[in-house]
């Protein structure tokens, strides 16, 4: 299966107004998840174990900046890893940080929209526009991600690079 993902992230001021705007543009609320992310030292990209109320995963990915958007390349994506796989990760990799957050998940066409509330404070909005079947070009996916941000009213100065870790 072919998979392409383009990501934009922003710091936002007010959670209620963003949620209202998401409803206005027709984004469907999918779920609320509590996530505890553990990040490990790797020579390239990010290696993360996510323990969450929806599902757990181990993933190793890199994001490459293309203008003001990031393209994701996934090296590993293991959903619901076994206890042994998790233990092995902690035994063989250096833990470099962790984040706990509540994530509200919305869907609009090819875009998954995450409204993240880290326990340390702040409100972050992430858009992942995904192409699975090659029906849209990479350029079309990038345009869609930027259009969703525009619909929500995100300004260029609100963008952040590669997340909050």
What are the pLDDT digits (tens) for 97-126? 999 999 999 999 889 999 999 999 989 999
Read off the pLDDT band of 162 (50, 70, 90): low
Q: Is 161 helix (H, G, I), strand (E, B) or coil?
A: coil
118-140: buried (b, 16+ CB within 10 Å) or exposed (e) per residue? beeeebbbbbbbbbeeeebeeee
Q: How many whole angstroms separate alpha carbon 33 and alpha carbon 45?
A: 24
Using alpha carbons, list the distances in angstroms from residue 43 to 9, 52, 56, 88, 94: 23, 26, 23, 18, 12
- Which one, of 126, 129, 144, 113, lies nearest residue 6 by Cα? 129
Average pLDDT along the chain: 91
Q: What radius of gyration, in Å, describes the C-alpha atoms of the chain?
A: 16
> In sequence order, what are the residues at sequence separation of 6 or more whose Cβ sits closer than 8 angstroms to the Cβ of residue 152?
18, 21, 22, 25, 125
Residue 18 pLDDT exceeds 60: yes
What confidence tens digit (pLDDT) does each residue in 43-72 have? Answer: 999 999 999 999 999 999 999 999 889 998
The secondary structure element, H or E, covering residue 62 is strand 57-66
| CATH 1.50.10.20 assigned to 4-155 | no
Q: Report domain extents, the chain.
A: 4-155
Residue 157 pLDDT exceeds 50: yes
């Amino acid at each position: 299966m072919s998979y392409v993902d383009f990501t934009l992230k922003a710091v936002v001021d007010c959670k209620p107004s963003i949620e209202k705007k998401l409803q206005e543009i027709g984004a469907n609320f999918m779920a609320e998840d509590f996530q505890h992310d553990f990040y490990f030292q790797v020579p390239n990209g990010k290696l993360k174990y996510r323990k969450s109320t929806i599902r757990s995963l181990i993933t190793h990915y890199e994001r490459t900046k293309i203008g003001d958007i990031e393209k994701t390349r996934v090296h590993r994506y293991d959903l619901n890893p076994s206890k042994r796989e998790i233990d092995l990760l902690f035994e063989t990799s250096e833990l470099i940080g962790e984040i706990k957050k509540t994530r509200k998940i919305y869907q609009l066409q090819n875009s998954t929209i995450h409204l993240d509330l880290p326990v340390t404070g702040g409100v972050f909005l992430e858009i992942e526009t995904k192409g699975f079947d090659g029906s849209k070009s990479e350029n079309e996916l990038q345009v869609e991600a930027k259009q969703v941000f525009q619909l929500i009213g995100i300004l260029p100065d609100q963008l952040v690079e590669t997340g909050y870790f």
